[in-house]
Amino acid sequence: MAPASKAEKPASTAGKAPVKSTEKVAKKTSAGKKTAAPAAGASDEKKKRKRVRKETYSSYIYKVLKQVHPDTGISNKAMAILNSFVNDIFERIAEEASRLAQYSKKTTISSREIQTAVRLILP
């Protein structure tokens, strides 16, 4: 039983190894090959996977909800639906404003195009 626990210990503390053990690992890898690949691999072990940031309107929706109804909460499913709704409306307005700018042969979308697009999309 004792050898099994010794084998498990380094695996569980691999990410939290003290400086001495990381120096040993660095010496072993640099002694075998002196390229940039082992150095990149060592830094990847220290760093965990980068989280992909997903942009949502959730925080803004929540702030408006608390301004209007301070004692009311919102479920994750409802927040996802509202976020999808805001994205959809934003996309529709942007497309319509882009079309209006193309019709008038302008390269920029001004507030006038946005206002007209909103009037056309939202009855």
3-state secondary structure of 19: helix
> Per residue in 42-90, pLDDT tens?
565 677 888 999 999 999 999 999 999 999 999 999 999 999 999 999 9
Given pLDDT bands bounded at 50, 70 and 90, which one contains residue 2?
low
Domains and CATH numbers, the chain: 58-121 (1.10.20.10)
Backbone angles phi, psi at 24, to 5 degrees: -65, -45
Instruction: Write down the number of H helices and E strands in the chain.
Output: 6, 0
3-state secondary structure of 47: coil
Residues 6+ away with beta carbon under 8 Å from 100: 109, 113, 116, 117
Average pLDDT of 28-49?
61
